[in-house]
């Protein structure tokens, strides 16, 4: 089965409802991808992810390239088989981690030279190499290598990164097409990444240049890195307006629970963020009434579930008092239960958003979420 994407319905806000079909199952859009950095969503087993109804996860190319190595994964049958996840997987290009984690790094037109954060060994990541690694991993969706820059970035820096990102995208696309010519259908989609920092004209220019390469999907990168939410939305809207209706739109690295519907309303189909899993390990729980900081003393004798409205297996069984105790005692079960709930909460938001689009009332859902999160924790 090859890949396809169909938009089935639009909301007055501009939100889209659709379905992505992959060789590893279908994914209802818009969707949120839990982040499985090391081929593992921290604190969750693949069984748990299936119980939660996750249809797609994200895995990090940078980490899997360094350990256990993409050739090892290829020999073991690819990432799906290696991690026993028969559902869809998106891999990033590795660029973001190279720029943020590794001891850098020399960026040239050829690629980016960096030292591994694990053992200091030197590596060269090129657009072709990033594509090659992701083909070896066998993900359903692969991202092209882009140049990530600091924020806020001066205009000349943003312009240079845009130019390089476009050149790298062209090389990645050529490499991908050459592989397809040699090997037939690669059973993978390759997405381009729009850059341009916080300059609307650069965002438009970046989108225009990538559109020439005819990607099946386009990501908006380099946002949600510290700029105000309004700017993230403004840049996203600028790009989304230029993208073809029949291609997937991916806003990378977002977002907070109350912001998700805002991005969907701008026409975004897919998102990913470490927030639900990372916050869970730091005892921050997301609920229908706002955030619950479970370590707070006020929960010590609270027999209610984390979220009385939540239907997840953790809320059906355990109390706030018990979860608070687990965190206080440093039990690893605290991370497991908290992560389970938070990922359920995010996937449930997406279910509600998809339903709201079907009924044409996403705007109501969005304002309710903002109101609840403005009021603070229950
Ligand atoms: Zn729950």
Q: Which pLDDT tens digit goes with each residue over 4-53?
A: 999 999 988 899 999 999 999 999 999 999 999 999 999 999 999 999 99
Would you call 92 a catalytic residue per the annotation? yes
Average pLDDT over every residue of 271-299: 97
Question: What's the gap in Å between 315 CA and the centre of ligand 1?
Answer: 4
In this model, does residue 312 exceed pLDDT 90?
yes
Residue 250 is encoded by which pair of tokens? 């991916």
* Cβ atoms 82, 71 nearer than 8 A: no
Q: Cα of 63 to ligand 1 centre, how many Å?
A: 30
DSSP state of 34: P
Which residue among the candidates 269, 272, 302, 348 is catalytic per the annotation?
Answer: 272
Does residue 35 have a cis peptide bond before it, meaning omega lies within 30 degrees of 0?
Answer: no
User: How would you classify the pairing of strands 88-91 and 217-220?
Assistant: unpaired
Residue 272: active-site member: yes
Residue 161 is classified by DSSP as: H
User: For tokens 């009385």, what's the residue?
Assistant: 308
Q: Tell me the β-bridge partners of 29.
A: 18
- Ligand 1: distance of its center to the CA of 21 in Å? 29
pLDDT in tens, 52-62: 999 999 999 99
The DSSP 8-state label assigned to residue 78 in this structure reads -
CA of residue 304 to ligand 1 center, whole Å: 11
Helical (H) or strand (E) element with 37? none
Token pair in block for residue 216: 């099946």
Average pLDDT, rounded, for the chain: 95
Ligand 1 centroid–CA 134 distance in Å is 34
Q: Are 23 and 89 in contact (CB under 8 A)?
A: no
Question: Which own/partner pairs from 281-286 qualify as long-range (CB within 8 Å, at least 24 positions apart)?
Answer: 281/42, 281/43, 281/335, 281/338, 281/339, 283/327, 283/334, 283/338, 285/338, 285/341, 285/342, 285/345, 286/257, 286/342, 286/345, 286/346
- Which residue intervals of 286-331 are DSSP H helices? 313-317, 320-329
> Which one, of 66, 65, 25, 58, lies nearest residue 139 by Cα?
58
Q: What is the pLDDT of residues 114-151, one digit of tens each?
A: 998 899 899 999 999 999 999 999 999 999 999 989 88
Strands 217-220 and 189-194 turn out to be: parallel
Active site residue: 92, 262, 269, 307, which one? Answer: 92
CA–CA separation, 50 and 44 (whole Å): 10
Q: Which of 146, 142, 147 is nearest to 216 (CA)?
A: 142
d(CA 85, CA 312): 21
Q: What is the CA radius of gyration of the chain?
A: 20
For residue 337, what pLDDT is reported? 98
CA dist., res. 261 & res. 361, Å (int): 11
pLDDT at 64 over 90: yes
Residue 243 Cα to ligand 1 middle (Å) = 36
Q: Is the pLDDT of residue 173 over 60?
A: yes
Residue 103: what pLDDT?
73
Token pair 């105000």 is found at 228
Query: By CB neighbour count within 10 A (0-12 exposed, 13-18 middle, 19+ buried), where does 216 fall?
Result: middle
The whole-angstrom separation of Cα 293 and Cα 174 is 49
Confidence of residue 1 (pLDDT cuts 50, 70, 90): low
Give the Å distance between the CA of 328 and the centre of ligand 1.
Answer: 20
User: What is the pLDDT confidence band of residue 377, given thresholds at 50, 70 and 90?
Assistant: low
Q: How far is the CA of 338 from the centre of ligand 1 (A)?
A: 8
Give the pLDDT of residue 105. Answer: 77
């Amino acid at each position: 089965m090859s890949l396809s994407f169909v938009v089935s319905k639009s909301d007055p806000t501009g939100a889209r409802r659709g379905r992505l079909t992959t060789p590893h199952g279908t994914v209802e859009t818009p969707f949120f991808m839990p982040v499985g950095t090391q081929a593992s969503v921290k604190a969750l087993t693949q069984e748990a992810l299936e119980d939660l109804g996750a249809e797609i996860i994200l895995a990090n190319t940078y980490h899997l390239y360094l350990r256990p190595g993409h050739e090892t994964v290829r020999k073991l049958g690819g990432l799906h088989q290696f991690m026993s996840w028969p559902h869809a997987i998106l891999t990033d290009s590795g660029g973001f981690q190279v720029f943020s984690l590794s001891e850098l790094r020399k960026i040239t037109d050829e690629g980016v030279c960096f030292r591994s954060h694990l053992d200091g060994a030197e590596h060269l990541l090129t657009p072709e190499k990033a594509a090659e690694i992701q083909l070896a991993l066998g993900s359903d969706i692969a991202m092209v290598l882009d140049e990530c820059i600091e924020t806020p970035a001066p205009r000349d820096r943003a312009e240079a990164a845009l130019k390089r990102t476009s050149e790298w995208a062209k090389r990645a696309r050529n490499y991908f097409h050459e592989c397809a010519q040699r090997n037939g259908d690669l059973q993978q989609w390759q997405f381009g990444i729009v850059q341009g920092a916080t300059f609307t004209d650069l965002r438009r220019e970046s989108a225009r240049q990538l559109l020439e390469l005819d990607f099946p999907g386009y990501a908006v990168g380099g946002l949600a890195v510290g700029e105000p939410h309004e700017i993230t939305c403004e840049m996203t809207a600028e790009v989304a307006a230029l993208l073809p209706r029949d291609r997937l739109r991916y806003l990378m690295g977002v977002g907070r629970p109350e912001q998700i519907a805002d991005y969907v309303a701008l026409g975004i189909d897919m998102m990913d963020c470490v927030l639900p899993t990372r916050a869970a390990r730091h005892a921050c729980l997301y609920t229908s009434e706002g955030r619950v900081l479970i370590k707070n003393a006020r929960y010590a004798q609270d027999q209610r579930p984390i979220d009385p409205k939540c239907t997840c297996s953790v809320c059906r069984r355990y109390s706030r008092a018990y979860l608070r105790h687990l965190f206080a005692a440093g039990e690893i079960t605290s991370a497991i239960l908290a992560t389970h709930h938070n990922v359920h909460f995010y996937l449930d938001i997406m279910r509600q958003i998809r339903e709201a689009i079907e009924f044409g009332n996403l705007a109501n859902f969005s304002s309710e979420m903002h109101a609840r999160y403005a009021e603070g924790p229950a």
